[in-house]
Amino acid sequence: MSLFAEVWEAVKAVGAGLGAVNKRISEPAVTEFYPYKKPEIPPVSVQFLALIQNEDGTDRCVACLQCERVCPSQVITIERKRNPEGKGFVLERFDLDFANCMHCANCVEACPVSAIVTVGAFEHAVYDINLLKADKAMLDHIGHEARVWYSPKFGVELRTPEGKIQKAPPEMQPGGLAELLKAEGGEAS
């Protein structure tokens, strides 16, 4: 290809790019005025992980180690001991290294009791990477502060102002009934 042909192809490519920009110049902006206006994040999105406790303050986690086993990054460390009051285990330590976490949510899917869940908290940026190591107390705090969370077993759950945990209404649930009702133009009851 000659030099003239190469220059002509480059000019055509630049012209096509400018044409695409000019078409969109009259459209309204889709950016948000963050951090003054917070974005609406669906509860199903994997932004951050948290541990959920029952309404009475006891751990939902039964220390089955499923989340630790399924984690591809091996960032979850759990220590447990036998329950002195009966069968099962008592959780002693639950550490999660967010610096190396892939946010794949395999741990959330593997949890049989929905103790580890995804929450829409995404503002956990820090300057020191060592602060991205979360222990049980921090994960419990994030879970307690969360008003809405998701797990595949229970779907979207929410915490009422009184501290009660309940299943979210169908319109907040991913897929299923909410999507069917939306497609039919009806309302979820």
- Write out the DSSP string of the chain: --HHHHHHHHHHHHHHHHHHHHHHTTSPP----TTTSPPP--TTS-SEEEE-B-TTS-BS-----HHHHH-TT--EEEEEEE-TTSSSEEEEEEEEETTT-----HHHHH-TT--EEEE-------S-GGGGEE-HHHHHHHHHH-SEEEETTTEEEEE-TTS-EEEPPGGGSSSHHHHHHHHHT----
d(CA 12, CA 2): 16
In the prediction, which pLDDT does 41 show? 76
In the prediction, which pLDDT does 125 show? 78
The string of pLDDT tens digits covering residues 66-79 is 999 999 999 999 99
In the prediction, which pLDDT does 178 show? 56
In the prediction, which pLDDT does 94 show? 95
Bridge partner list, 121? none
In the prediction, which pLDDT does 46 show? 72
Q: Other C-beta atoms within 10 Å of 96: how many?
A: 26
In the prediction, which pLDDT does 188 show? 47
In the prediction, which pLDDT does 189 show? 46
In the prediction, which pLDDT does 75 show? 96
The string of pLDDT tens digits covering residues 118-149 is 988 777 778 898 888 999 999 999 998 888 89
Q: Other C-beta atoms within 10 Å of 52: how many?
A: 26
Whole-number Cα distances in Å, 112 to 60, 137, 152? 10, 21, 9
Q: Consecutive sets of 10 residues in the chain, 189 residues long: mean pLDDT of each?
A: 89 91 82 80 80 90 94 95 88 93 92 92 82 92 89 89 87 67 57
Task: Please give the domain boundaries of the chain with CATH numbers for all domains.
Answer: 48-184 (3.30.70.3270)
